[in-house]
Amino acid sequence: MRRILLALLATLPASFASAQEQASDTIAPEPATPVGASHAADSAISASLKAKESGKPVSAKNWMVAAANPLAVRAGADVLAEGGTAADAMVAVQTVLGLVEPQSSGLGGGAFLVWYDAKSGEVITLDGRETAPLQATPKLFLDDGGEPLKFFDAVVGGRSVGTPGTPMLMEEAHRRWGQANWAALFDDAIALAEDGFQVSPRMAASIAGDAERLSRYGNARDYFLPGGKPLSEGTVLKNAAYADTLRALAAAGAKAFYEGPIAADIVRTVREAEGNPGVLSLEDFETYEIKARPPVCVTYRAHDVCGMGPPSSGGLTVGQILKLVEPSDLAGLGSKSAEAWRLIGDASRLAFADRERYMADDDFVPVPVKGLVDEAYMAVRARLLETDKALETVEAGMPAFDHALNSYPRRADGEAVELPSTSHISIIDSYGNALSMTTTIENGFGSRLMVRGFLLNNELTDFSFRTHRDGVPVANRVEPGKRPRSSMAPTIVLKDGKPDFVVGSPGGSQIIGYVAQVIISRLDWGMDAQQAVSAAHLVNRSGPFDLEAGTDAEQLKTPLEALGYEVKIGDINSGLHAIAVTPDGLQGGADPRREGIALGE
């Protein structure tokens, strides 16, 4: 079996850390210091960090994996090097991420996975999103007066916890596409949890920034704040409880999580959360299922861009942005042109207006999935961009619903707070399969409740807290068993039916802008995988234009203001991980704003 990972992250610079994962992630990147190179794998990690620092992509011929932490990437690389598939490698990456980047994703959360199957040429998506408890009512996030709760009053505690999907998603992906021994895929995470790993700068800064909230409930407090002090960078941290949980999953599969003592502990912890209990029950675990769904694909510049449909808004909103700018000559305008960013910014505003009105879990509310990216509808909406200044008003359009309805449904816009967190994994294996998976426990450290070595999500706060406006229902309102709308946008771009670009990012609702931008950077502006993920961000959801501080983007402040935008300059914390397929082989890019790398062979 694969050798066990013992090497520890030594000296990633503190500048890669976030001050607070769930909030503004304020620290700008500086050059990386390579990890201690004690053997060949460490040299590869070191080389990958150096490539990222110098803005160069990592190259490979056979396989590649890119994710948010070198230890997790190395676990996936070991699986791929031994002939495992992308689905096998994902299990190794996810289980290590849950240990070394616990603030972002893990067993207590959910994920969306887009898969390109080399044998069939098909793209399939798996929905491992959390579900609202069957006992949830529309009042879940309303106070006694019927007004929405304050965001963190809802988040911290049991109220926000949905039934986790990640353990079952790992099993389902392995069942469909894996070929390695299931139990062996947990070896690296178990070894790291037992022998210890060094707390990374980002994890340490995230803990320090969240210390007050992390101190509210016992297990998380004892783990992240031993002796009342936040864990510091470089501390060797063990997690025996997590190792035991992984052993149970390795031995019995996902049923070890959804039946028996683990599920019982989660339910008890949620229902007994002092001050803010939730209503999760064992029935939620018994009825939970992974849903295989068709991808949402749009054509863009002679490529097929395929992503995750509802309950994520990612695929549809990224797809709309691309379709809305497709009639424009972005290549001719170039990446530094204010006119190019006017087009992208207002395309994004139009897409976000539709998103707020129509997108939600379509097992519960009719969503015009085809209509939203229909060529004729997009052409009509794109005509709104035929002007020379910022749109003064932006409103949702009227896409055709997929099935005949008695009348066009009345829908009110929702309001869901989405702060940057989450993690993204991109993999291409030696068989030509591609996997793009965005994985999350929602807010940094999720609900702050910890059970058996992992954190529980707060995914339910991705619902609109308000269920109606003036009696008109919001699509993304809380309903029992429903999945909250997501912004996660795991994407596989195909050229002539084969993978061309695999990408995704964390970042709350900004994910959509990051992913649209990185695709435009590659397809319109010819950037390589590293250039595309490193490129300065400009993001417009529905308010001001957010420009990334300390980058070339700042030069567009005055021209964009002249076009009529309110402009805000600040730190922007994407975590893009991309793999491009080129005539010379695979090219990996890891976001310089975070600690991740790409490794390949």
Please, are residues 556 and 341 in contact by the beta-carbon 8 Å criterion?
A: yes
DSSP code of 290? -
Give dist(CA 312, CA 487) in Å, integer.
6
Measured from the Cβ of residue 450, the count of other Cβ atoms closer than 10 Å reads 25
Closest CB to ligand GLY among 314 and 499?
314
Give dist(CA 487, CA 508) in Å, integer.
6
Give dist(CA 1, CA 429) in Å, integer.
19
> Minimum distance between the CB of residue 129 and ligand GLY, rounded to whole angstroms?
8
> Minimum distance between the CB of residue 295 and ligand GLY, rounded to whole angstroms?
17
> Minimum distance between the CB of residue 443 and ligand GLY, rounded to whole angstroms?
8
Cβ density class 464-499: b for 16+ within 10 Å, e for less: bbbbeeeeebbbbbbbbbbbbbbbbbbbbbbeeeeb
Of the candidates 422, 70, 425, 92, the one whose C-alpha atom is nearest the C-alpha of residue 246 is: 92
Give dist(CA 586, CA 61) in Å, integer.
6
Closest CB to ligand GLY among 348 and 531?
348
Closest CB to ligand GLY among 314 and 397?
314
Measured from the Cβ of residue 106, the count of other Cβ atoms closer than 10 Å reads 28
Residues that bind ligand GLY (CB under 6 A): 418, 422, 440, 442, 462, 486-488, 508
> Minimum distance between the CB of residue 490 and ligand GLY, rounded to whole angstroms?
11
Please, are residues 541 and 348 in contact by the beta-carbon 8 Å criterion?
A: yes
Closest CB to ligand GLY among 358 and 565?
358
Q: What are the backbone dihedrals phi and psi of residue 545, each rounded to the nearest 5 degrees, phi first?
A: -85, 120
> Minimum distance between the CB of residue 419 and ligand GLY, rounded to whole angstroms?
9
Closest CB to ligand GLY among 88 and 130?
130
Of the candidates 309, 429, 284, the one whose C-alpha atom is nearest the C-alpha of residue 367 is: 309
Give dist(CA 434, CA 359) in Å, integer.
27
The yes-or-no answer on residue 558 being catalytic is: no
Closest CB to ligand GLY among 361 and 571?
361
Q: Where are the beta strands (DSSP E) in 87-132?
A: 110-116, 123-128
> Minimum distance between the CB of residue 7 and ligand GLY, rounded to whole angstroms?
31
> Minimum distance between the CB of residue 190 and ligand GLY, rounded to whole angstroms?
27
Closest CB to ligand GLY among 509 and 521?
509
> Minimum distance between the CB of residue 192 and ligand GLY, rounded to whole angstroms?
25
Give dist(CA 242, CA 221) in Å, integer.
16
> Minimum distance between the CB of residue 388 and ligand GLY, rounded to whole angstroms?
34
Q: Active site residue: 131, 317, 422, 467, which one?
A: 422
Please, are residues 464 and 311 in contact by the beta-carbon 8 Å criterion?
A: no
Closest CB to ligand GLY among 161 and 180?
161
Query: Could you write out the three-class secondary structure of 476-537?
Result: CECCCCCCCCECCCCEEEEECCEEEEEEECCCCCHHHHHHHHHHHHHHCCCCCHHHHHHCCC
- Strands 58-60 and 303-307, how do they pair? unpaired
Mention every residue, 6+ apart, whose C-beta is less than 8 A from residue 40: none
Give dist(CA 64, CA 317) in Å, integer.
27
Closest CB to ligand GLY among 112 and 377?
112
Q: What are the backbone dihedrals phi and psi of residue 58, each rounded to the nearest 5 degrees, phi first?
A: -90, 140
Q: Where are the beta strands (DSSP E) in 122-168?
A: 123-128
Q: Return the amino acid letter for 125.
A: T
Name the closest residue to ligand GLY (Cβ).
486
Looking at the annotation, which residues are catalytic? 422
